[in-house]
Structure formats: structure tokens, C-alpha cells
Structure 1
Amino acid sequence: MTQAVRTYKGFEIHPLVYPRRHSDEQTRRNPDAGYEASVRICRVGANPSADGRVFRLPHLWPFEGTGKARLACMAHAEQLIDGRVDGQTVADL
């Protein structure tokens, strides 16, 4: 599967979706447990691993599927880039 990367206002948005961890901290392949998500943001053309920053999505419940989690990543990243998330910024990237 190809990872979806989107650009927005000079930033690259890399959604990071992974299976929900259980209380024993082991990742299991159980799609019914849901998914959690984070998003890596970097400037266009930068090395995402070295020059980017990862932000975890504040979500009370796990996402039902990877598609919903990816959509939420994109929306959260846009809010971060627009400066609408208290306590988090991408201004120094």
C-alpha cells in the first residue's frame, strides 16, 4: 500500500496510522480493536525523518478504519499548520 502524502501551504503531511495498542503494550493484528494515528509534518523537500515533527492526534476512541484515521490526520495537520491547535506549532520547521 502506498502512503498518502499531501502538501499544504509549503508543508508535507505524512499520516501515520497504526493498530491500537492494548493495555499490555503489545501490538496485535486485530482490526476490531481499531487504529490510532499521528501525523508527521515537514517542509516540502525536507527529509521527513530528520527535519519533520510527529504530532499525535488527540482522539478519545480508536478509529474504526485506516481510511478514517488518514482523513483525521490530514484535517489535524491542516489545523496545526494554520495555527489553530493550542500548544502545538510548526512555525519552527
Structure 2
Amino acid sequence: MNSAVKTYKGYEIHPLVYPRRPADGQTSRNPDAGYDASVRICRVGANPAADGRVFRLQYLFPFDGTGKARIACMAHAEQLIDGRVDGQSVADL
């Protein structure tokens, strides 16, 4: 699945959405279990795998669809870039 890459204030935002794992740790493909999400942020033109950083979205409940998870990734990344998330920063990227 291709993820949509967005640029914001000189950073690339790569949403990472994946099926939620059950508490027992078994891998499953049950879309009813929901989705978890993280976001990889790097400078525009940098190698995301080498020069980026992954931030996990902390939600108590899984997202019920990949679209909602991607939207949350983009919003969270913009807040990180703007410096509005306590304890997380992209200033050193």
C-alpha cells in the first residue's frame, strides 16, 4: 500500500498505519481489531529511513479505519513540527 507523503514547513510526513496486534501478540489480519499508527518525519529530500524519526501516535483505542489513522498522522506531525507536542521535537532533524 502506498502512503501519501505530504510536505509541511520543510519536512516530509510519512504516515505509517498498521493492523493492531491483539494483547497476546499474535499477528492477525482482522480489520475489526482496528489500526495503530505512527508517523515518520524527515527533512525534504532526506532519506526517510536513515535521516527520519518515527513518532507513535498514542491513543487508548485503535483507529477504526486506515483513512482516519492517516488523517491523525498528518495532524500529529504538523503539531510536532510546530512544537506543540510536549516531550517530542523534530528540531534536530
Same fold by TM-score, threshold 0.5 exceeded?
Answer: yes
Residue in structure 2 matched with residue 30 of structure 1 by the alignment: 30
Q: How far 1:27 sits from its partner (Å)?
A: 2.1
SS of match in other structure, 2:71: helix
- Counterpart of 1:12, as a letter, is E
Count of aligned residue pairs for this structure pair:
93
1:74 is aligned to 74
AA aligned to 2:24 is: D
Shift of 1:3: 1.3
Alignment of 1:32-47 (within 5 A): 32-47=32-47
Structure 1's consecutive aligned runs of 4 or more residues displaced over 4 angstroms after TM superposition are: none
**What are the ranges of 5 or more consecutive residues in structure 2 without an aligned counterpart?**
none
Match of 1:91 in 2: 91
Match of 1:52 in 2: 52
**Greater mean alpha carbon deviation, residues 60-69 or residues 20-29:** 20-29
Structure 2 equivalent of residue 17 of structure 1: 17
1:58 Cα offset (Å): 1.2
Hey, what does 1:8 align to over in structure 2? 8
Percent of counterpart pairs with the same letter?
83
CA RMSD of aligned residues (A): 0.6
Structure 1, gaps ≥5 residues long = none
Query: Residue 62 in 1 paired to residue 62 in 2?
Result: yes
